[in-house]
Amino acid sequence: MKVFVTGVKGQLGYDVVNELRKRNHEAIGVDIEEMDITDAASVDTVIHRAAPDAVIHCAAWTAVDAAEDTENQEKVRLVNAVGTENIAKVCKELDIKMIYISTDYVFDGQGTAPWLPDCKDYSPLNVYGKTKLAGELAVSESLSKYFIVRIAWVFGKNGKNFIRTMLSLGKKYEQLRVVSDQIGTPTYTYDLARLLVDMVETEKYGYYHATNEGGYISWHDFTAEIFRQAAAMGHKEYERVAVTPVTTKEYGVSKAARPFNSRLDKSKLTENGFTPLPDWKDALHRYLKDFNFEEI
């Protein structure tokens, strides 16, 4: 199978291309230098020339707080909404599969019940969420051969992420305040890439949720486990770091409102024969084992 992948310089796109090649699929990876997704003509030309069997669309504007800045809002809309619509149009013309990576941010993050993949009770709290929802609708309203996969709390080797940030802060400070009232589950891009390739090899289309298994946690829980595992691997400087749980209100206002409830129901994966992602603690262990602590 020939699969076209956008956003290959990002954490997920990088891992998706590697997973495709591992399985002897032909992976065509692009980033903005090869194809500007906000330019319909560029998208049309590049994808038609590649003539793939499927597109896995990983490119997105993911800087959630920066998306709130007035000068950025139109750029965010062009990337997340218009760019996705441009790709969906070409997939429709070529009659090929499309996987679109979305987010828990399409919901309002209230309550405690896990969000179901087919729930249409959208109410995004910020610009990022609104534009990702617009991307979802562009895909679902124009295509029949689509997978919309919502993920949360993403980390991977090829880029910035929460783990890298916490490890860096833990080297500098003996006390950290971390939010404890936002609940969800991390998603390791290495594991997610495997699932996405599993999906593209099928015709089991629709909406899915995909994060690592292991239960729902807070950012505070995640941070405590990051430092525990790092210390157990011999990085003893993290043993001294005290991680204090605080509420979102106590932590202080960020530019973009964050969902309190990022619990995603993933039962549809097993119902459709897909293998769930491994436990998040196992994913964290594998990530840290390969992490270059000298870089931070």
Active site residues: 128
Nearest to 181 by CA among 125, 260, 244: 260
260 and 180 in contact (C-beta within 8 Å)? Answer: no
223 and 164 in contact (C-beta within 8 Å)? Answer: no
DSSP state of 115: B
Kindly provide the residue ranges of all beta strands, DSSP E only, lying in the chain, ordered along the sequence: 2-6, 26-30, 54-57, 97-103, 146-151, 154-155, 175-179, 183-184, 187-188, 206-209, 212-213, 217-218, 242-246, 277-279
Distance CA 88, CA 18 (A): 23
